[in-house]
Amino acid sequence: MDANKQRGALGHGVSARLLLSLSLASAVSLAFARCASEPASPSGEALYRRYCASCHGLQGRGDGPLAETLKRRPTDLTQLAKKDGGKLDEPKLLSFIDGRRWVKEHGPREMPVWGAVFDEELKTQFYREYTGLLQSRTLADYIRSIQEK
């Protein structure tokens, strides 16, 4: 084979490898970009601050900035376990959060039905019902973490 044909064959092999490497690098970059753009699940504390702190206060004591506007003072969430004999009733708490249980103290449904709110905010995501339930669960876990002994 003469030198020009060898250089051409070698150049073609290098070009093909370079093209393959660039294609692979692009695919990996796109995959990472897609993962990075996926919304992260908010923490229980972040959910609490967004949805609950305005009424229940940052520490959960029922003294949030909107507490005075309600017919009755919001529940001190740090005392739930004490009120239930030392153990937090998580199914009951979840039913308050997601709206399956009416909260008499809030009058005619002043407390938002968070389960419906979560579902509406997540309506463009896959499995929104499960994600809304997981947010309620994450919020309940955070409330469990602020219980006073």
Q: Mean of the pLDDT values across residues 60-68?
A: 95
Examine the domain organization and report whether 90 and 138 are in the same domain. Answer: yes
pLDDT digits 0-9 by tens, 20-62: 555 555 554 544 444 444 556 789 999 999 989 999 999 999 9
Examine the domain organization and report whether 60 and 20 are in the same domain. Answer: no
Domain interval for residue 57: 44-145
Task: Name 43's Cβ contacts closer than 8 Å, sequence gap at least 6.
Answer: 138, 142
End-to-end CA distance of the chain: 86
Taking the whole predicted model, whether its pTM rises above 0.85 is answered as no
Examine the domain organization and report whether 98 and 48 are in the same domain. Answer: yes
Examine the domain organization and report whether 77 and 132 are in the same domain. Answer: yes
pLDDT digits 0-9 by tens, 94-143: 888 877 666 665 455 555 666 666 667 767 766 656 667 788 899 999 99
> How far apart are alpha carbons 130 and 133 in whole angstroms?
5
Examine the domain organization and report whether 23 and 49 are in the same domain. Answer: no
Number of domains in the chain: 2
Q: Which amino acid is at 73?
A: R
Examine the domain organization and report whether 49 and 96 are in the same domain. Answer: yes
Examine the domain organization and report whether 82 and 109 are in the same domain. Answer: yes
